[in-house]
């Protein structure tokens, strides 16, 4: 499947590398195209089945407003808040993912790949089992596609409900960030779901 990743930073290249290794056709949308797999934003999304937003939240509105994502599944991996940003109050009423749905005009918006660090995207395997990846969306088919992609790269893919649940997932990301960075646990831990 053709996957366009908007933003070729840590998350973008980590997910892109995993999806390419799994056999997908990955292109990046960047500010400085290289004529190879790093293209302009418009060129990257052309013909893509899935478009993954891996930009800092502050850049998302400008890049996605007017970008023609067509009928692609749009996956939001960005986090609009950090424990210190002061943006928490706004995110309680409208998540970054819901804002991206407005800015991009996409009705196939999916929140995923935001609740854990890039190290876990590179390798979700832990001795007790795979790290969980929570996936929230209103469009059932789009959600199925992203649950499949998360499972393909080794996550325990978990349906987290409708797109409005992105508000929860963006706060869950803060739990991970706070533990990893502020509380000093480090980046090699992940959330998991145990079942019986």
Binding residues (CB under 6 A) for ligand NAP: these are 7-12, 30-32, 54-57, 59, 63, 77-79, 114, 117-118
> To the nearest whole angstrom, how small is the minimum distance from the Cβ of residue 14 to ligand NAP?
8
Grouping H, G, I as helix, E, B as strand and the rest as coil, residue 122 is helix
User: Quick one: 79 exposed, middle or buried, by C-beta within 10 A (0-12, 13-18, 19+)?
Assistant: buried
Smallest distance, ligand NAP to C-beta of residue 196, A = 29
The strands making up 2-6's β-sheet, listed across from edge to edge, are 38-39, 25-29, 2-6, 50-53, 73-76, 109-111, 132-137, 156-161
Q: How many residues does the chain have?
A: 196
Number of continuous H segments (helices) and E segments (strands) in the chain = 8, 10
Nearer to ligand NAP, 133 or 142 (CB): 133
56 versus 186: smaller Cβ distance to ligand NAP = 56
The nearest distance, CB 52 to ligand NAP, in angstroms, is: 10
Rounded to the nearest whole angstrom, what is the least distance from the CB of residue 30 to ligand NAP in the complex? 6
Between 117 and 154, whose beta carbon lies closer to ligand NAP?
117
The Cα–Cα gap between 53 and 75 comes to: 6
Residue partners of 166: CB distance under 8 A and separation at least 6: 76, 95, 96, 97, 98, 111, 136
Among all residues, whose Cβ is closest to ligand NAP?
A: 9
What is the closest distance, in whole angstroms, from the C-beta atom of residue 186 to ligand NAP in the complex?
A: 12
Q: How many CA atoms lie within 13 A of 150 on its CB side?
A: 28
CB-wise, 55 or 157, nearer to ligand NAP? 55
Q: Give the nearer residue to ligand NAP in terms of CB position, either 48 or 60.
A: 60
Smallest gap from residue 148 Cβ to ligand NAP (A): 20
Which residue, 34 or 71, has its beta carbon nearer to ligand NAP? 34
Distance, CA of 83 to CA of 131 (rounded, Å): 22
């Amino acid at each position: 499947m053709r996957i366009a990743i908007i933003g070729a930073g840590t998350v973008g290249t980590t997910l892109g590398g995993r999806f390419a290794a799994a056999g997908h056709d990955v292109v990046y949308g960047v500010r400085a195209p290289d004529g190879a797999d790093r293209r302009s934003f418009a060129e990257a999304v052309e013909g893509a089945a899935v478009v993954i937003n891996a930009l800092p939240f502050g850049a998302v509105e400008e890049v996605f407003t007017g970008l023609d994502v067509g009928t692609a599944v749009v996956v939001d991996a960005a986090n609009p808040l950090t424990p210190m940003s002061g943006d928490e109050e706004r995110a309680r009423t409208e998540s970054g993912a819901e804002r991206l749905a407005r800015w991009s005009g996409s009705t196939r918006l999916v929140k995923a790949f935001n609740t854990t660090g890039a190290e876990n995207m590179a390798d979700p395997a832990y001795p007790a089992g795979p790290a969980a990846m929570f996936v929230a969306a209103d469009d059932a088919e789009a959600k199925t596609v992203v649950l499949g992609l998360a499972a393909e790269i080794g996550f325990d893919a978990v349906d987290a409900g409708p797109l409005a649940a992105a508000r929860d997932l963006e706060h869950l990301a803060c739990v991970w960030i706070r533990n990893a960075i502020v509380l000093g646990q480090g980046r090699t831990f992940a959330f998991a779901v145990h079942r019986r």
